[in-house]
Structure formats: C-alpha cells, structure tokens
A and B are shown apart, each in its own frame.
Chain A
C-alpha cells in the first residue's frame, strides 16, 4: 500500500486558480519528487505566489487537482499543515514581539520545543539581537528570523518566495543549510535571479500570465531560455 512517504512532494494536474473573474493560474501539471527542487520563474503577476499559496493550503484550487505530500487539497489540507514551511513576501512575524517571542509563539503552535528556536537563532546569527522587537530589525535580519520561522517545525516541503531577498552574502551563506539544497527536503523556489534559481533547481517551471510556458529539467534549460519570460 502506498504511503505519504512514497508519494511525490507535489503532484499537480491542470491546476487552476482565479480571483473573481481574473484567472491567476491555469493548466499547471507537474510532479515534484521528494528531495527535489522546483524553481518557478515568471514576471510579476505570472501566478508564482498564487501557486505557492495553493501548495501551502492557504488558497483553494479552483480547477484541476493538487496533492501535497500525498494528500489531496483542499480535502486533506489538515494533514498537510505543519508539514510545509512557507517563506513568503511577508515575514509572518508580529512587529511588536521580539524574534525570540515570535519563534516561541510559532514553536507552541507547531508543538516544537523552545530549544529549537534558540538553536535556529544561533544558526542564522541572530541570537544577540533576539530580544529586540521585529520592527527594530533591518529587513535582512527580519528575513533571517522569517527563515527560522519557516523551518522551525522541520517541514518536509519548503515553499520559498525570494528567500535570499535582503540578505547580504554572509547571511545568505548562513541560511543555506536551512533552506538550501543541503536541507535535503523538497523545495518550490520562486526567484527573479535566473542564474541562482537555475543553480538550485532540479526542475524549472516558467509561468506567463498564469499559464505554464516552460516545464523542463533544469539541466535542459539555459538562463537565456528563461529571460524571454520577463519580456
């Protein structure tokens, strides 16, 4: 009998999603194996963030089917929550709480020990500033805390929207073990940095106007192939 562990990390068939009359995503069909990375490229409004939010169970699919970690969405969304880590544009952190308080809050929601929060703060070099409110931190520091929040519960699938935004090279290297290829978990990665995104990817999805224009193994794609998506 097939179990969740045998199922691909993501399996989409003709996935579609609309906001009112406007179709944000349509006809996306793909399968992402466990441990692999899908890089998603496309201009603003191409449907990248919508795809991420559907996979995170925050938006319902309106057409086709979506399965995450072997569970059908939205019917079995309850079984997916707590197994995916979302790093979105917004850090999902309370500005008036400190980094430590935010992480401890999320640790309690996910049933994770406080020690894990301390371990992560240390790993991203934020232990010294952990008691300052988020509103007092720079964007890069806030991003580092948001990365800690996203991986706090050791998710099986990481959904990353521009994860290195605002990070200096040192900070980017510091978070690589948590959200990079070294993390070993399946990843869906949105990036506008074509070279960096390709270097991280096993599979590439290029979206234009909500529709898939490119779906190829990363090895078969060159940066020039992707630049057309932004014209």
Chain B
C-alpha cells in the first residue's frame, strides 16, 4: 500500500495534475460566489453550504483523475500481476485522495475565510478540523470506489459526477449541518454530536461496502 501512495504522491509532485486544479477550482468558485451572492460576507448555514458544495465539486475533479494513470499507463495490470491483496489498491488510493483533499483544504479554507466568510473561523478550528477529517474520509472512500468504476468507461468525466454526487448527498448534508454553527459570529455552541455520528456512520458503511466490492471492479 505504501508503495502505491508514495508513487502517486511522487507523480503528483512532478505533474501537478490534481491538487493545483482542485485548489484553483475552489478559489475561483469562492470568487464567483462572492460576486453572485452580492454580499460582503456570508455566515452560518449559507457559509457552510457554499464551503461544502465547493469542496465537493473540487473533489470530483480529483476523483475523475484518480485512476487515469492506472488505466492509461498499465498501472492496473502491473498491480494485478503482483502478489498483493487487491484491496490494498483501494486503501492506497483512498489514502492518496484523502491527502490531496487535505492539501487543497489547507489553502482553500483560508481563501474562503478571506474572500467570503464574515466571522473568523479560527476560534472553531479544532471542531472544524474534526468535521473536515470525517467528511474527507467519506469523500475519499466513495470517491475511490466511483473513480475505479468510472475509469473503466469511455465517459468517465460524465459517469464520475453522475455517480458520486448523489452518493455524497448525505455526507454534504451532515458536513454542512455540523459546520454551520461553527461559522457564526461569536459561536459558542460547538458541533451537534448527531451530525458527527452521521458522518462517522457514513464513513463506516461506505468503507465496508467499498471493501466488499472493490475486488470485483478490478475483474475483467
């Protein structure tokens, strides 16, 4: 697994095909929202919605490309010829996607705070980090599954969003509801535990599902 993660990070550092595109998309979307909403700033439900919808669409850009090198440069065959458990590829790719999402958020969230957000998010940073980690885990798991399915088709650019976005609706609802109280002026309430529970359950259910079916996606 470590070999695949290391290889993907090395390729990304060399080509910059995923993270810069995802980050540029996020920042551009925040700028668009800034003008389209015609407000100096947003907070609460609206801020959480803008943040999570933007991050989700940015993630889709990465998911579309997650398995492209494997498909086009024989990586699947190379992996399948090796005496390793096929689910190791799933775990490795989900780890890579998680890391790339975290790298994007490292720059996209400060950009969101500067361009759009009214209240400062820094007081609620620990709680926000918990939501980000749980939501990114869900995106990584579902994204890896959908990416592996989509890359087998000729129309992966269409298939991936068509499959990924509906599957991620519960995740976006839970992430936005959990984030919303953290993005208001003088927030003191913290996160509602039930939304964290929903995110955790989502990660667990889709993690188990992906673990069960990923092998079949690699079959001819």
Q: Return chain A residues, CB-CB under 8 Å to B75.
A: 92, 94
With A58-B220, A88-B77, A90-B77 as contacts: A81 and B83 at CB distance below 8 Å: yes
Docked-complex contact A106 and B78, CB < 8 angstroms: yes
Interface of chain B residues 191 through 220 with chain A (CB within 8 A): 219-220
Q: At the interface, is chain A mostly helix, strand, loop or mixed? A: loop
Distance in angstroms from A87 CB to nearest chain B CB is: 11
Cα(A111)–Cα(B84), bound, Å: 10
| Total residues of chain B contacting the partner, CB 8 A | 22
Is the CB of A13 closer than 8 A to any CB of chain B? Answer: no
Cα(A214)–Cα(B80), bound, Å: 31
Cα(A58)–Cα(B220), bound, Å: 7
Beta-carbon contacts of B6-21 to A below 8 Å, as 1s and 0s? 1100110011000000
Is the CB of A117 closer than 8 A to any CB of chain B? Answer: no
Docked-complex contact A88 and B74, CB < 8 angstroms: yes
Cα(A97)–Cα(B15), bound, Å: 10
Distance in angstroms from B180 CB to nearest chain A CB is: 41
Is the CB of B155 closer than 8 A to any CB of chain A? Answer: no
Residues of chain B at the chain A interface (Cβ within 8 Å): 2-3, 6-7, 10-11, 14-15, 69, 73-75, 77-84, 219-220
Q: List 23 A-B contacts (CB under 8 A).
A: A58-B80, A59-B220, A60-B219, A60-B220, A81-B81, A81-B83, A82-B83, A88-B77, A90-B74, A90-B77, A92-B73, A92-B78, A93-B74, A94-B11, A94-B75, A95-B73, A96-B15, A97-B7, A97-B11, A101-B10, A106-B78, A108-B2, A110-B82
